[in-house]
Amino acid sequence: MVATSHDVMPDIELYQPTDEENALALANTLGADGWLVGGGQDTYGWLKDRNKNPAAMIELTQIDAWKGIKEIADGIEIGAVTTLTDIANNPLVQSRYALLATAAGKVASPQIRNVGTLGGNLIQDARCWYYRRGLDCYRAGGNICYADSPEGLNREHALFGASRCVAVSPSDTAPALVALDATMVVASSSRERLIPAQDFFVGPERDIVNMTVLNDDEILTAVRIPSTWANAEFYFEKVADRNVWDFALVNIAASFKVSGGSIEDARIVCGAVECTPRRLESVESAIRGQQRSEELAASAGEMATEGARPLNYNHFKVPLMQNLVKRAIRG
């Protein structure tokens, strides 16, 4: 007698549109029942753990219009289905926007970067293990945050912006795009929206279920980076438990315009400290017009963590974040 396993993948319809119009029409028709797939690195983890059960998947990798990197009137445009490896290795990105090239090259491992897409890295869901294991936390529709409890394991969780959920933004490219003042191109079958990268990501106080402003019928199709910060001085650093195949404990992405040792302008963004990329606008204001110095870097580092509320096991993130800010400002 042969034993029959019932632990099998559920039936899921698969759509593989080859043009924009069909993809947007499918997203409109399927709505919340349609799961968008780029490289699939986030998708297949959810399906493997049986914690997401979409009725259908819309694979976007055959849509050439949403791939590649090109110059536009005021900067560059990167298709959302462009792989992270292509972004990291692209001469145009490397020469003008090295911040993004570096960030893309720090995601996970070479194998994952070869198939993982920019859009997928930006809109991946929260990585909190309680949520990922299918527990009924706030983000999953329940009435508790298991990480933010006396017994909660919260070493990787948020210092800022906790509102029921204390998960953090897991993306390495998101802080870089906010620091570059990028614009997200979001399309549906009825309209196109241009959304500043800083406004694209949302915290739990606004939406406990979603981490971006995307509606069910919308698709992130491209990212535009203006020439404003082209060829600026950049700094990116990611601290993780392992150099590959791991998410950041804290990362930092910064753009500086420097003349004669004086910081004329700056955009500084930290990841993995809040549910959204955290832009340090108070630090930017404090260092603007100042000469670089150890004293300036030290005071800016302390300012960066004002208002932080560490959890039981992530107090180490406070000095870590401070030191990353110091290093970025020192250059």
Q: What residue ranges do the domains of the chain occupy? A: 13-330
Q: Which pLDDT value is given to residue 205?
A: 96
- Tokens standing for 204? 């739990």
204-229: average pLDDT = 97
pLDDT in tens, 119-141: 999 999 999 999 999 999 999 99
Confidence (pLDDT) at 34: 95
Q: Where are the alpha helices (DSSP H) in the chain?
A: 20-30, 43-48, 84-89, 91-96, 98-104, 110-115, 118-123, 129-132, 173-179, 197-200, 281-287, 294-304, 317-330
Q: Round to whole Å and give the CA distance between 85 and 114.
A: 5
Split at pLDDT 50, 70, 90, the class of 209 is very high
Q: What pLDDT sits at residue 258?
A: 98
Hey, what CATH class is 13-330 in? Answer: alpha beta
Q: What is the mean pLDDT of the chain?
A: 95
What's the chain's length in residues? 331
Give the tens place of pLDDT for each residue, 91-116. 999 999 999 999 999 999 999 999 99
Summarised one tens digit per residue, pLDDT across range 3-35 is 554 556 678 999 999 999 999 999 999 999 999
Q: Does the pLDDT of residue 259 top 70, yes or no?
A: yes
297 or 11, greater pLDDT: 297
At 11 the pLDDT is 85
